[in-house]
């Protein structure tokens, strides 16, 4: 006999089977995903998902008897006091049929399949990738910091580490037997005594002794260059693993609940997406009418105000918050602006200036989505105003969404690296 420890064997032997299974049920997964974003908060797509899959597509058929026809005899255990000829109520569950024979083969109605978070997200972000992520990652996903890294034997004077230097000096002095200053002074005091007493022999002995000591002290210096130690400080890149996502939205009366709902889904996708790249993702909600203010999620999606629309106020608010709380070197900044496209004409120059000169340079990515149930989307003030930016800036994109079902495709379009790497023309532009 031998005992084999298989615990270290590669785990997840069934991974291949699991993948094949997932492939098989992909359409169910898509539906489950759509369902789950309808009900959740933006940041609330953590953890795995349980997906209920109807067994119809997954059922493996077998030849078996129809329990509803025919005659059967069987033996059961645990008779109480039935006599032959007695009648028994049929069990309501299916357990009465064929209790002995076919244990497998009876189908289950549906079963719940638990997706890991990774699997869940993989399904939906298969070929999505932040545009130019690699390039910008080098530039701004890492900011350097200085850390201690032991000692070195040379360096600038202000880095001299006195404690470490003295430790080495002391060790050397003890090892090489350098006389202590106190000892020499004691001898000199004795010599003085001997000189006053006029003891010639003693004077000669002490002189000789002191001489030898002093020679040794000169030969073994108190501090030598070999003792010197400098603190070494190293520059290491510190990865910034955090991102902040600005949700900007016009919340004036023209934004109906339905439009906001579409915007919400877009933000959710963006948030989910960012969570894949960063350890921490913070959300900032800025709503605006003619003035802008930072609000919580509840207010953001459910509050409703009236008043004119001044987009630049939201951009200013965003810049203010970035300055206060999200230093650009530590944070990856994303912004998504959702709007029905209205803005006062007189505000457009200011909006464009802010966006192009101040916001786009510090943003990893800025997406403008126009939620619109109009028949002629893409015919708004903002759309026309923003349109030239698409070509000038890699990190700016705009798209329009007319129904909820379009959100995911639009999101894909915006973030699909392959599409963006080519020409960045947008579909359905009014000319």
Q: Residue 393, Cα to own-chain centre: how many angstroms?
A: 25
Site string for other proteins, 233-272 (x = CB under 8 A): ----------------------------------------
Contact between 63 and other proteins (CB under 8 A)? yes
Find the binding residues for other proteins in span 277-336 (CB under 8 A): none
Tokens of residue 84, six digits: 């032959």
Q: Does 174 bind other proteins (CB under 8 A)?
A: no
Contact between 64 and other proteins by CB under 8 A: the answer reads yes
The angle formed by the CA atoms of residues 139, 238 and 317, to the nearest 5 degrees, is 65
Q: Min. distance of Cβ 233 from other proteins in angstroms?
A: 45
For residues 82 to 121, the per-residue mask of contacts with other proteins, x marking binding by CB under 8 A and - elsewhere, is xxxxxxxxxx---xxxxxxxxx-------xxxx-------
Instruction: Please choose, out of 81-89, 211-219, 271-279, 352-360, the segment that lies near other proteins by the rule CB under 8 A.
Output: 81-89
CB of 125: closest distance to other proteins in angstroms? Answer: 21
Q: How far is the CB of 67 from other proteins (least distance, A)?
A: 7
One of 39, 66, 163, 357 touching other proteins (CB under 8 A): 66
Q: Is residue 1 close enough to count as binding other proteins by CB under 8 A? A: yes
Q: Which of 162, 172, 160 is nearest to 219 (CA)?
A: 172
Site residues (CB under 8 A) for other proteins, limited to 22-41: 22-24
Choose the binding region for other proteins from 53-61, 173-181, 233-241, 382-390 (rule: CB under 8 A).
53-61
Euclidean distance between CA atoms 194 and 21, whole angstroms? 103
Binding-site member from 39, 78, 158, 219 for other proteins (CB under 8 A): 78
What is the C-alpha to C-alpha distance for residues 20 and 23, in angstroms, rounded to an integer? 5
Q: Do 382 and 311 contact (CB within 8 A), yes or no?
A: yes
Stretch that binds other proteins, among 26-34, 63-71, 249-257, 365-373 (CB under 8 A): 63-71
Alpha-carbon distance of 95 to 80, in angstroms, equals 19
Residue closer to other proteins by CB (options 98, 221) is: 98
Quick one: CA dihedral 360, 363, 364, 365, positive or negative? negative
Write down the least CB distance from residue 58 to other proteins, Å: 6
* Distance of closest approach, residue 12 Cβ to other proteins, in angstroms: 7
Residue closer to other proteins, measured from CB, 30 or 137: 30
Minimum Å distance from CB 121 to other proteins?
A: 18
Closest approach of other proteins to the CB of residue 55, in Å: 9
Question: Which H helix or E strand runs over 371?
Answer: strand 365-371
Distance of CA 399 to the CA centre of its chain: 25
Q: CA-based Rg of the chain, rounded to a whole angstrom?
A: 39
Give the residue from 22, 94, 14 showing the smallest Cα distance to 57: 22
Q: Report residue 365: phi and psi, to 5°.
A: -160, 140
CA angle 248–304–313, rounded 5-degree value: 35
Judged by CB under 8 A, which stretch of 4-12, 279-287, 380-388, 398-406 contacts other proteins?
4-12
What are the residues whose beta carbons fall under 8 Å from the beta carbon of 97, sequence distance 6 or more?
67, 72
Residue 12 in contact with other proteins, rule: CB under 8 A: yes
Site stretch for other proteins (CB under 8 A), options 55-63, 121-129, 329-337, 396-404:
55-63
Based on the shown chain and the rule CB under 8 A, indicate whether residue 201 belongs to the binding site for other proteins.
no
- Alpha-carbon distances of 145 from 18, 148, 246, 333, rounded to whole Å: 43, 10, 27, 20
Q: Show the tokens assigned to 2.
A: 């031998």
Supply the minimum distance, in Å, between the C-beta of residue 275 and other proteins: 24
- Look at residues 278, 272, 290, 12 and name the one whose alpha carbon lies nearest to residue 128: 272
Residues across the chain: 431
Q: Is 147 in the site for other proteins (CB under 8 A)?
A: no
Q: Which of 26, 31, 40, 65 binds other proteins (CB under 8 A)?
A: 65
- Least Å distance, CB 37 to other proteins, is 23
4 lies in the binding site for other proteins (CB under 8 A):
yes
Whole-number Å distance between alpha carbons of 350 and 339: 17
Q: CB of 281 within 8 A of CB of 271?
A: yes
One of 40, 44, 46, 76 touching other proteins (CB under 8 A):
76
The Cα–Cα gap between 397 and 389 comes to 8
Nearer to other proteins, 75 or 219 (CB): 75
Which lies closer to other proteins via its Cβ, residue 22 or residue 314? 22
| Cβ neighbours, 10 Å, residue 336 | 22
By the criterion CB under 8 A, which residues form the site for other proteins? Answer: 1-7, 9, 11-14, 16-24, 58, 60-80, 82-91, 95-103, 111-114
């Amino acid at each position: 006999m031998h005992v084999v420890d298989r615990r270290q064997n590669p785990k997840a032997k069934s991974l291949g089977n699991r993948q094949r299974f997932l492939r098989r049920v992909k359409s169910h997964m898509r539906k489950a995903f759509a369902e789950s974003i309808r009900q959740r908060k933006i940041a609330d797509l953590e953890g795995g998902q349980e997906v209920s899959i109807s067994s119809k597509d997954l059922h493996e058929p077998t030849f078996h008897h129809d329990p509803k026809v025919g005659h059967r005899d069987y033996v059961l255990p645990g008779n109480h006091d039935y006599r032959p000829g007695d009648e028994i109520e049929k069990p309501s569950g299916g357990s009465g049929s064929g209790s002995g024979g076919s244990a497998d083969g009876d189908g289950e109605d549906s079963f719940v399949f638990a997706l890991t978070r990774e699997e869940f997200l993989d399904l939906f972000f298969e070929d999505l990738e932040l545009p130019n992520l690699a390039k910008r990652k080098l530039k701004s996903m890492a900011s350097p910091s200085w850390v201690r890294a032991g000692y070195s034997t040379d360096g600038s004077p202000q880095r001299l580490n006195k404690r470490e230097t003295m430790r080495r000096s002391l060790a050397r002095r003890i090892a090489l037997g350098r006389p202590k200053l106190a000892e020499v002074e004691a001898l000199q005091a004795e010599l003085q005594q001997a000189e006053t007493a006029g003891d010639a022999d003693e004077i000669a002995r002490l002189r000789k002794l002191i001489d030898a000591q002093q020679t040794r002290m000169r030969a073994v210096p108190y501090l030598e260059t070999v003792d010197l130690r400098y603190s070494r400080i190293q520059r290491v890149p510190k990865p910034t693993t955090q991102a902040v996502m600005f949700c900007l939205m016009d919340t004036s009366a023209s934004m109906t609940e339905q439009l906001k709902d579409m915007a919400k889904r877009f933000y959710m996708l963006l948030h989910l997406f960012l969570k894949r790249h960063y350890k921490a993702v913070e959300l900032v909600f800025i709503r605006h009418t003619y003035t802008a203010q930072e609000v919580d999620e509840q207010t953001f999606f459910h509050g409703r105000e009236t008043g004119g629309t001044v987009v630049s106020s939201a951009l200013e608010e965003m810049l203010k918050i970035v300055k206060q709380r999200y230093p650009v070197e530590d944070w990856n900044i994303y912004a998504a602006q959702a709007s029905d496209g209205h803005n006062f004409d007189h505000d457009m120059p200011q909006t464009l200036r802010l966006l192009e000169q101040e916001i786009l340079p510090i943003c990893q990515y800025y997406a403008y989505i126009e939620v619109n149930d109009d028949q002629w989307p893409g015919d708004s003030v903002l759309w026309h105003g923003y349109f030239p930016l698409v070509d000038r800036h890699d990190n700016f994109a705009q798209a329009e969404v007319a129904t909820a079902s379009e959100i995911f495709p639009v999101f894909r379009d915006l973030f699909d690296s392959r599409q963006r790497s080519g020409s960045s023309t947008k579909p359905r532009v009014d000319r």
